[in-house]
Amino acid sequence: MKKVVVFGGGTGISCLLSGLKLFPIDVTAIITVSDNGSSTGVLKRELDIPAVGDVGKVLLAMANVDDDFIRLLRYRFSKEGSLHNHPVRNILLAALIDLKGNLTEATKYMAGLLNIKGTVLPLTEEKVELVGKNRSREFFGEEEVSANVRHIRRLDYDHSFHVVDEVTEKIAEADLIIFSPGSLYTSILPHLLAPEVCEAIEKTAAPILYVCNLVTQPGETDGYTVGDHVHVLNRYLKGRHVDLVVANDQEIDPDIRETYLTKENKRVVALDPERIEKLGAEIIRDEIFCIDEAGSIRHDAMKTAFLIFSYLMRSQKEEK
């Protein structure tokens, strides 16, 4: 069975993993823990723990349990009070950190409860904050970084930290390394700020695949093309570069595009094949989007996962 390591955080990686879990692949998901917003930020500050929100989302995306259990873990307390807006999954993970001693063991225990086939790992067990820097000031925390990318010259963490040992072990064993869709500067690049991760990726012969975002993110990637996303990733990969890009090449309904632009200031990410090829990447192009019940543009989890699985099977045949 092919071994795949997926880096990310938040909704983008959760969507991708919900598709990948349906294929015969040994998946390891590595999740950033620097979020500082909403319920996650409150628990992080009050309990002095790493961010648990994205880990919880990924665990639910990979779960193989009944829908009622999933709904329970997704439930957010609605009444005013100390639990207001906290989802049950975050409270459970925070409790498990106390019981198990760290976020890695808490995550593994919860993965067992959810009958997950595969592995979910936090990047680190330490409480860390993302910091954006320029010559005159610093932008502290994911929320500030996301809103001020255009002013930032360098990304960093507030302190050096130890990457979970199993993360580098899984990278060394991987047949494919995937960077998921998601916030480029606050969910994807934070992995590559850890020297151990970059060194492990540089040592492995596994190809690097990037599943590109469908729409731009205000404040982070305004006006970015697919090639722009790849170019930024390559800068942070240092000794490696993106080998494959999964990108949408089909037209999205103009009315939906206009709604995204006027209501959310988001544009569809344009595919620029010539630039991507100059950057040394092969393009896996197809219709990889769907429109959900709310009219939002989302990755088609099954289609995207199928394209990745097909690539793995093709490469396996070529090896023989």
pLDDT of residue 211: 98
Question: Could you give all domains of the chain from N- to C-terminal order, each with its CATH number?
Answer: 1-32+166-320 (3.40.50.10680), 37-120 (no CATH), 127-160 (no CATH)
Quick one: average pLDDT of 289-306?
A: 92
pLDDT of residue 119: 98
**295-301 own/partner pairs: CB under 8 Å, 24+ apart:** 295/256, 295/259, 297/214, 297/215, 297/252, 297/256, 297/260, 297/268, 298/15, 298/214, 299/12, 299/15, 299/16, 299/181, 299/211, 299/214, 300/19, 301/15, 301/16, 301/18, 301/19
pTM recorded for the entire structure = 0.96
pLDDT of residue 16: 97
83-103 pLDDT per residue, tens: 999 999 999 999 999 999 999
233-275 pLDDT per residue, tens: 999 998 899 999 999 999 999 999 998 888 889 999 999 999 9
